[in-house]
Amino acid sequence: MRAIIQRVSEARVSVGGQVVGAIDRGLLVLLGIEHADAAEDGEWLAGKIAGLRIFSDADGKMNADLAEVGGRVLVVSQFTLHASYKKGNRPSFIRAARPEQATELYERFVGGLAFKTNTKIETGIFGADMQVQLINDGPVTIFMDSKSRE
């Protein structure tokens, strides 16, 4: 699994002009699932994101996690995170998981993240054409890959 994690002062996702998920201060997580992913990938990623210390503490240092600042999370599925552009300029998405597999792993990830953060997770609609709006705070943007675990 791959995730782009952005620290935001606000974010929202819309489908067909209707807002389906929105948060104020917190994290926007764009989540890509590939066919080689399993539940363990989501568990590892959820744990890392829940404990990520990228918010300012009382001294203004990036040392606080989501719980310490009372932040929220918005998760949006994004198969394009597994794009391959090795041959030519048109990306291939062959590594991205098929919806039958990806839907289950996405829902398990969201549930695991809700458990680890002890908060309701806002989401987009899996597989829908979504429009995402955000104000990146910092900007702070982190990339995580459950296969490399860096």
For every residue of 26-87, DSSP letters joined together read EEEEEEE-BTT--HHHHHHHHHHHHH---EE-TTSSEEE-HHHHT-EEEEEE-GGGG-B-SS
Q: Which two tokens stand for residue 103?
A: 């839907």
Residues recognised as catalytic: 78-80
- How many angstroms separate the CA atoms of 62 and 136, rounded? 15
